[in-house]
Structure 1
Amino acid sequence: MATVLLVRHGRTTANAAGVLAGRTAGVELDDTGLDQARRAAERIAAVPVADLVSSPQQRCRQTARLIADAQSRSLRVGTERGLAECDYGDWQGRKLVELAKEPLWRTVQQQPSAATFPGGESLVSMQHRAVAAVRRHDAAVADAHGKGAVWVAVSHGDLIKSLLADALGMHLDHFQRLNVDPASISIISYGPERPHVLATNSHAGDLGWLATERGKRQARSSTVGGGAGPARRGS
């Protein structure tokens, strides 16, 4: 299978205001978010990206466009509805400080597998559609571009946390233990035996090793004892 870079969108006006944006239209990156997304794009530019898909939400498409523009070849941004933000229903557009007083808040934090947002979807259904979309797309990229291919999926914090939890074999009830910050990069390689989580919530560092043959082999297998790791650029 291939390797996916999971990129959360940069900071938005709603993030800065402490509002749960959800699927609200017109939520854009603020100046800080644009800078964050550009830095992520610069890191990813060291890797030839085979494919790039984004959540339909505008903030993700903005982030994805910056990633595409930093590539050395023309790269189209596709839309993947399976990566859309969680449908928070009646919680959408409300202040987080207000939501923290709701009884459901404790469930979301302590037993997310039991949480269904009023008028929206459950966190379980969110995870199921996200995992199905990423695994389906990953298989298609591997078929089209080879097992060493690297592709990018731009999505949202809770979506990416649920994908990482699945890849790590964690129950959804533990996914709140993971951090996924704006414009961070997490990396999963879906090998034939199991997924391999190569990075989580990464903000800095060279990603060029993903483009090397040794790096591609490392992404697809686990070595007893840990192995030597991928060769880094310049080493």
Structure 2
Amino acid sequence: MARPLTLLLVRHGQSTWNAAGLMQGQTAHVPLTDRGHDQARAAARELAALGPGAMLSSDLLRAVQTAEHCAAATGLAFTTTPALREQGYGVLEGRPSRELWDVVDWTDPRWAAEGGESLADLHARVAALLGRLRADPPAGVVALVTHGDTIRAAQAVAAGLGPAEMPAVTPHNGTVTRLQLAGAVG
């Protein structure tokens, strides 16, 4: 019998590179700011009220620091996975985001920076993870601590949309986005 799987997607709090306006991508070592820790604590309180039974996190530092706040608030341990990482921007990581509007082809889901990944790659990575969770859910409500573009990809996958149809709006730092995945085996 199929039952829905609820995903609670937590976007990490503000990082030092968010504050500086730098493209982060999969740069691993970027920590949260004081404001980011405050945002993460607020998201953790919201998450705890929603009652997740399991939690996974991106393995990038800004997400792990956010997941630590979520773990403290929920009492859940978490595991990390590279499947929840942000879209990789390769050679563009660390550059000011405002410089990239003329460099990145935001309309082509197959475009990727040198050493990075395309939106299509990101969408496929997230779809594979959500497929595994749908097939073998660790709980009926699962928290995923992750990144803005990864959340947009999860929203598209849950809605049956491809990488060219991902939502344009990225959730703010320290927010919780609820998604339902139909068809979990139960």
- What is the TM-score with the length of structure 2 in the denominator? 0.89
- Indicate the residue corresponding to 1:25 in structure 2: 28
- Indicate the residue corresponding to 2:121 in structure 1: 125
Aligned to 1:114, the other structure's residue is in SS state coil
- Indicate the residue corresponding to 1:228 in structure 2: none
Instruction: Tell me whether 1:34 sits opposite 2:25 in the alignment.
Output: no
Separation in 1 of the partners of 2:97 and 2:65?
24
Shift of 1:140: 2.1
Separation in 1 of the partners of 2:167 and 2:76?
33
Query: What amino acid maps onto 1:15 in structure 2?
Result: N
Q: Describe the shift of the 1:50–1:139 C-alpha distance in structure 2 as closer, same or farther (beyond 3 A).
A: farther
- Indicate the residue corresponding to 2:89 in structure 1: 88
8 A Cα contact 1:86 1:126, kept in partner: yes
Q: CA RMSD in A?
A: 1.7
One of 64, 68, 73 as aligned partner of 1:70: 73
- Indicate the residue corresponding to 1:158 in structure 2: 149
Separation in 2 of the partners of 1:171 and 1:84?
19
Separation in 2 of the partners of 1:97 and 1:46?
37
Query: What amino acid maps onto 1:58 in structure 2?
Result: L
8 A Cα contact 1:3 1:138, kept in partner: no
Unaligned runs of 5+ in 1: 194-235
Separation in 1 of the partners of 2:157 and 2:68?
27
Separation in 2 of the partners of 1:119 and 1:170?
26
Count of matched residue positions in the alignment of Structure 1 and Structure 2: 181
Once the two structures are superposed, residues 145-184 of structure 1 have per-residue CA deviations (whole angstroms, 9 ceiling, x without a partner) of 4xxx211001111111011122223342232523311111
Unaligned runs of 5+ in 2: none
- What is the TM-score with the length of structure 1 in the denominator? 0.72
Separation in 1 of the partners of 2:97 and 2:167?
16
Q: Which runs of 4+ in 1 moved over 4 A?
A: none
One of 6, 11, 14 as aligned partner of 2:14: 11
One of 154, 179, 192 as aligned partner of 2:183: 192
Aligned to 1:3, the other structure's residue is in SS state strand
Summarize the alignment of residues 51-66 of structure 1 with structure 2, pairs less than 5 Å apart: 51-66=54-69
Separation in 1 of the partners of 2:130 and 2:28?
24
- Indicate the residue corresponding to 1:139 in structure 2: 135
- Indicate the residue corresponding to 1:101 in structure 2: 102
8 A Cα contact 1:11 1:29, kept in partner: yes
Query: What amino acid maps onto 2:161 in structure 1?
Result: M
Mark the structure with the bigger radius of gyration: 1
Separation in 1 of the partners of 2:85 and 2:170?
19
Separation in 1 of the partners of 2:94 and 2:171?
21
- Indicate the residue corresponding to 2:80 in structure 1: 79
Query: What amino acid maps onto 1:126 in structure 2?
Result: L
- Indicate the residue corresponding to 1:208 in structure 2: none
Specify which structure has the bigger relative contact order, considering alpha-carbon pairs within 8 angstroms and separated by 6 or more residues.
2
8 A Cα contact 1:115 1:122, kept in partner: yes
